[in-house]
Amino acid sequence: MADDSAAPSGDTWTTIESDPGVFTELIASMGVSGCQVDELWSLDVESLEALAPVYGLIFLFKWRKEESAPPPVQMDTDDANPSSSSDVFFANQVINNACATQAILSILLNRSDTLDLGQELGTLREFTKEFPPDLKGLAIGNSESIRHAHNSFARPEPFISDGTRSAREDDDLFHFISYVPVNGTLYELDGLKEGPIPLARNVTEKTWLAEVCPHIQKRIQASAAGEIRFNLMAVVQNRLDALANQVAEARAEYRGLCERLQVALDESSPLLIDDVGATAAAPSSSASTFEGDDDAARTALEQCTTRLGDLLEMRRAEVEKRDAWREENIRRRHNYVPFLFNFLKILAEKKQLKSLIDKARQTR
């Protein structure tokens, strides 16, 4: 649970913004490669499947006091204590403001079969795999590298508080939970609960997204009337890596069809030039042995040209999105207070500050 009233100090966890650019860079800074976080704007299976492969979902919602009591954890017939099952990495949240990073870790550490966790998280998972959930939570909270990566996204504090205060009943507190399939079972992982909650059995990589949508809808509907502050994000395959592979395959097919039809290749064509300006090397492909007559080959070439152009445009958009994320994260970390202080000081020295304040008051 994120408590915005907590003041950061040397050994605490600060609140960070719920943003896909923040979470993607956070994942990379923890040493994990091959994935990113994308924001979802609709809760339908088609939108989710368009991002496949989806490794897990992160759901942000307003926490209510009545949810503090955990629901019964369903027991497997062959496992009397699912919260300590070696198949599911589940950690209790024992650190304030860590729920965002913990929700991400709940997905990453349960998808070690498909993701490269890197040395830090790989060692953490192996070291804590026999720990109970509370000790797993403490291990995460005591990880200096994870805490440093998390706190690197905290906004600069212009003033230093002398202490912290406890959250009041009227404070808005938000909480992150995760949804992830593990060994054919879909789980809800909430660090404030006593253990992982199985939601559906016998799911596959292709079916679990359809199973999870009704559960998220149910959570939204159970919220207070008029509450619209939700956020749903997906941990997915690195889009640039995926698009790079698709572009390479499409280029190989394009070259093969041009060879089949004896069409001269223009190596300076945007279809064959990477963004860095170098001609892309095509991997081996069976496209040059296209089976069919010339009319069919020409149709296939037209379709391939269109598809290749679309893929290159998608890659360009993804690169622009990453650049925007990088710029936004730099701005998040920057401390603007010295600039504002000096700007106001200069206005005061030039006898302009008071008139501007008076004018602002008149326009209110």
Q: Alpha helix locations (H) across the chain?
A: 20-29, 45-49, 99-108, 118-128, 133-141, 144-151, 208-221, 239-261, 294-333, 337-349, 353-362
Annotation marks residue 99 as catalytic: yes
CA distance 162 to 306: 62
Q: What are the residues whose beta carbons fall under 8 Å from the beta carbon of 124, sequence distance 6 or more? A: 109, 139, 140, 143, 146
| Selected catalytic residue, list 35, 175, 258, 304 | 175
Closest CA to 321 of 19, 103, 17, 56: 19
DSSP state of 286: S
Beta bridge partners of 101: none
Nearest residue to 37 via CA among 50, 14, 19, 52: 19
Nearest CA among 23, 22, 2, 21 for reference residue 13: 2
User: What are the contacts of 259-264 at 24+ separation with CB within 8 A?
Assistant: 259/288, 260/287, 260/288, 260/290, 260/297, 261/294, 261/297, 261/298, 261/301, 263/301
Helix (H) or strand (E) holding 283: none
AA letter at 126: E
Q: Write the CB contacts of 154 (distance below 8 Å, at least 6 apart in sequence).
A: 8, 14, 15, 16
Strand order in the sheet with 35-40: 35-40, 231-237, 54-62, 174-182, 185-189, 197-200
CA–CA dist 272, 2 (Å, integer): 48
258 is catalytic: no
CA distance 353 to 348: 5
- Written as six digits, the tokens of 177 are 């939970």
Find out whether 63 and 105 touch, Cβ atoms under 8 Å: no
Asked if residue 53 has a cis previous peptide bond (ω within 30° of 0), the answer is: yes
Catalytic one of 35, 99, 258, 304 = 99
User: Which residues are identified as catalytic?
Assistant: 99, 175
